[in-house]
């Protein structure tokens, strides 16, 4: 991740840039009714047939909760309070290191809220017409879960006092990626979203998560693996 005056650290923005490009292509495909959306209906029917809204298991239902505000916000708030308490007990207080993750959660949900009416895609089950009016794309659950799980990973690093280790950034990205994928898959399997809705939400969430980690590195809350290697070799 980008850190301080590490001028070569802009490589850390590559995941966010790649996610933005892929999201732009996917959004264009959804609006234009491209080949990717042609795969939505068979993919959706296969997923629902194998465990949809009439026979889903509890794990799938629990996964959807990762992207729900009523679960996500209290859980992250409790983690943040614990991390702040730990920092006040022995670490130098740095409010920005908690404000940046909070801002990223608010921002990603705001981006989802703005994108949904702009695309106007109908949810599954509304006579199969993806443009009959609606707000299915992108999936707010998938986007929110990706960022929330990444934030949770960072706050756990704060609790453990390991936020300056390079592995913390990798942990955050892995947690966000897996959380977003799991929630996105659950939303399709339970019949709430088309596959491309979940893919769009996941890309948006991962892009925001990478930007959050870059901002944290700039604020001194993370140390990049690249910078650590440079210091070790000097």
SS3 percent helix, strand, coil of the chain, rounded to 5, is 75, 0, 25
pLDDT of res. 174: 92
Residues sharing a CB contact under 8 Å with residue 114, sequence separation 6 or more, in sequence order: none
pLDDT at 86: 66
For residue 18, what pLDDT is reported? 94
pLDDT at 231: 37
Residue 20 lies inside a defined structural domain of this protein = no
- Tell whether 216 is covered by a domain: yes
1 located within any domain: no
* Overall pTM > 0.75: yes
3-class secondary-structure state, position 94: coil
Instruction: Return the pLDDT at 27.
Output: 94
Is residue 100 within 8 Å of 155, Cβ to Cβ?
no
User: Do residues 23 and 204 lie in contact, with contact meaning Cβ atoms separated by under 8 Å?
Assistant: yes
In this structure, is residue 13 part of a structural domain? Answer: no
pLDDT of residue 168: 84
- pLDDT per residue as tens, the chain (234 positions): 333 334 334 567 888 999 999 999 999 999 888 888 888 888 888 777 765 444 445 666 666 666 666 666 777 777 777 777 666 555 554 556 778 888 888 899 899 999 999 888 888 875 455 555 678 899 999 999 999 999 888 888 877 777 777 788 888 999 999 999 989 988 888 888 899 999 999 999 999 999 998 888 887 767 643 333 333 333
- How far is Cα 15 from Cα 194, in angstroms, rounded to an integer? 24
For residue 119, being part of any structural domain is answered with: yes
Q: Are 27 and 136 within 8 A, CB to CB?
A: no
Q: Per the domain annotation, does 219 fall within a domain?
A: yes
Query: What's the pLDDT at 133?
Result: 62
CB proximity list for 58: less than 8 A, separation 6 or greater: none
- pLDDT of 32 reads 86
The C-alpha atoms of residue 114 and residue 131 are separated, in whole angstroms, by 17
| Residue 5 is assigned to a structural domain of this protein | no
Q: What are phi and psi of 221, to 5 degrees?
A: -95, -10
Give the chain's domain count.
1
Is residue 125, in this structure, part of any structural domain at all? yes
Range of the domain at 145: 77-88+95-223
What is residue 147's predicted lDDT score, i.e. its pLDDT? 93
């Amino acid at each position: 991740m980008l850190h301080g005056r590490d001028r070569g650290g802009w490589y850390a923005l590559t995941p966010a840039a790649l996610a933005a490009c892929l999201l732009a292509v996917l959004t264009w495909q959804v609006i234009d009714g491209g080949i990717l959306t042609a795969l939505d209906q068979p993919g959706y029917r296969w997923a629902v047939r194998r465990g949809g809204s009439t026979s889903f298991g509890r794990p799938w239902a629990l996964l959807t909760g990762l992207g729900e505000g009523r679960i996500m916000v209290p859980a992250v708030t409790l983690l943040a309070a614990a991390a702040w308490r730990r920092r006040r007990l022995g670490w130098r207080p740095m409010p920005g290191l908690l404000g940046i993750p909070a801002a990223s959660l608010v921002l990603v949900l705001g981006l989802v809220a703005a994108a949904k009416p702009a695309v106007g895609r109908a949810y599954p089950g509304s006579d199969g017409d993806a443009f009959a009016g609606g707000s299915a794309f992108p999936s707010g659950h998938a986007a929110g879960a990706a960022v929330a799980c990444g934030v949770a990973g960072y706050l756990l690093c704060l609790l453990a006092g390991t936020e300056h280790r390079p592995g913390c950034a990798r942990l955050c990205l892995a947690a966000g990626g897996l959380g977003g994928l799991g929630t996105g898959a659950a939303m399709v399997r339970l019949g709430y979203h088309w596959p491309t809705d979940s893919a769009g939400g996941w890309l948006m969430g991962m892009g925001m998560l990478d930007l959050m980690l870059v901002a944290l590195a700039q604020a001194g809350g993370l140390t990049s693996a690249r910078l650590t290697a440079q210091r070790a070799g000097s």
